[in-house]
Amino acid sequence: MTEDKNTFNQELLFELLEKKEYEKFRLEFLDLHSYDQATFFLSLEEEQRVTLYHFLSPEEMATVFENVEQPEDNYQDVMAEMTPEYAASMLANMYVDDAVDVLNELDKDQVASYLTIMDKESATEIKELLHYEEYTAGSIMTTEFIAISSNQTVKSAMAILKREAPDAETIYYIYVVDEVERLVGVISLRDLIISDDDTMIAEVMSDRVVSVSVGEDQEEVARKMRDYNFLAMPVVDFQDHLLGIITVDDIVDVIDEEASDDYSKLAGVSDVDTLDYNPITSAKKRLPWLIILLFLGMMTASLIGRFESTLDQVPVLAAFIPLIAGMAGNTGTQALAVAVRGIAKGEMAQQSIIKILGRELGTGLITGSSSGIVATIMIYLWKGDFYVALLVGFSIFISLIIATLAGAVIPLLMHKVKIDPAVASGPFITTINDIISTLIYFGFATLFLSYFL
């Protein structure tokens, strides 16, 4: 029974659309949750979509479109299927932040023409938001919030709320502003409802408002919102003027995107790749790192080439190259992951770089010595050659310490100079550590060559 309610009859909708059963289709379709409407929309072919535009008003289509998440290059085509008037009206009826998201994916010409046909008020609202930089608070906020003055009763505030509710993106927080639109307080609908009608807003509002500034990074906004458990967060300029709000549903998307992004970078997929792409698109997303790795790998190869005479004399050394490089590469990735997550979570702020390095040095010493000792014993038992065993073990020991430090230092330094540390992706750190560890291994081998002969 739960199943029936959570899904919907896609087949029936297809059939009604194909048969152009206008009334029946609308009855079924408009009863769906807007996410399900969007899912249905995404499953249609062009011809069916065009029928749908005829079946739905621009207002109804706006609700569908608010929930549609297209691959970036698809918006252009889909929008071109509508008449310009229909498209402009649909955009005007969408929540302004969602409309801006769509417009950001279109040609400048197309955007300009929609804004010209659109009613003036909507066009002005949209234009205000269009110029904010991507990934800032400004780029994800909406201007459809409810703001009131503190100089009124709960009852009159409730009246304003009822009037403005249809247009506001959330009515669960009401923001209080002074005569020059500066944010001075906030009150939740919950507090409003349990307060007496005649109480003044100034008495029940909280004047300790947590806000974010319009240029703040969206990841930072997400962190604050998660920590404070807000459903919406006000966005202000440097003089505390209330510019907009960011709602929790957009923050959920931000958290998801940022996590996907960090994850992809750790794996060395240059851009977000998905199971939905065709092989050519996928290959394009993966090849850049592979080609960089190829060049870095050639460096490692030429490095090993320089130790050819050592290798000639002690060929058994070759067998342990992947072991040492692999362990150093992985240790570096571990340290990288902890540092990148730490930065993302804001743990960095509370600690000095020196303290973190001390911590990672300690960790490297423990993992390095443990792994080094185990390796020495294993190889000695297996090969019976104490010097080779000691060489491999000692190389692992030194490599792991350096790899741990490199894995932590590189993202921390990048963060200091304001580069996204996740760019120092897994394969990059891995290959750097491959090179360092190979150098250490063959360096020691050559230095103590006489023992192995």
| Footprint of its own copies on 68-127 (CB under 8 A) | none
Among 294, 419, 423, 447, binds its own copies (CB under 8 A): 294
Reference 76, options 44, 108, 53, 51; nearest CA is 108
- 339 near its own copies, rule: CB under 8 A: yes
Please state, as a whole number, how many other Cβ atoms lie within 10 Å of the Cβ of residue 87: 25
For the CB of residue 80, give the shortest distance to its own copies in the complex, in Å.
26
CA 166 – CA 161 distance, rounded (Å) = 9
Please state, as a whole number, how many other Cβ atoms lie within 10 Å of the Cβ of residue 265: 23
Among 374, 419, 423, 447, binds its own copies (CB under 8 A): 374
Residue 172 or 451 having the CB closest to its own copies: 172
Reference 424, options 272, 284, 266; nearest CA is 266
Among 100, 148, 325, 405, binds its own copies (CB under 8 A): 325
Among 287, 413, 419, 423, binds its own copies (CB under 8 A): 287
Which pair of structure tokens corresponds to residue 419? Answer: 């580069």
Site for its own copies in 189-248 (CB under 8 A): 189-190, 193-194, 208-211, 213, 225-229, 231, 236, 238-240, 248
Residue 124 or 274 having the CB closest to its own copies: 274
For the CB of residue 85, give the shortest distance to its own copies in the complex, in Å.
28
Residue holding tokens 């959570």?
6
For the CB of residue 449, give the shortest distance to its own copies in the complex, in Å.
15
Site for its own copies in 396-425 (CB under 8 A): 400
CA 440 – CA 442 distance, rounded (Å) = 6
For the CB of residue 196, give the shortest distance to its own copies in the complex, in Å.
11
Residue 155 or 190 having the CB closest to its own copies: 190
- 256 near its own copies, rule: CB under 8 A: yes
- 334 near its own copies, rule: CB under 8 A: yes
Contact pattern from residue 32 through residue 71 relative to its own copies, giving x for each residue in contact according to CB under 8 A and a dash for the rest: xx-x-------------------------------x----
Reference 148, options 138, 127, 163; nearest CA is 163
Bridge partner list, 188: 173
Among 122, 139, 143, 331, binds its own copies (CB under 8 A): 331
Three-state DSSP class for residue 197: coil
For the CB of residue 313, give the shortest distance to its own copies in the complex, in Å.
10
Reference 146, options 128, 166, 130; nearest CA is 166
Contacts of 334 (CB under 8 A, 6+ apart): 404, 407
For the CB of residue 398, give the shortest distance to its own copies in the complex, in Å.
15
- 297 near its own copies, rule: CB under 8 A: yes
Three-state SS string across 330-389, please?
HHHHHHHHHHHHHHHHCCHHHCCHHHHHHHHHHHHHHHHHHHHHHHHHHHHHHHCCHHHH
Number of residues that bind its own copies (CB under 8 A): 129
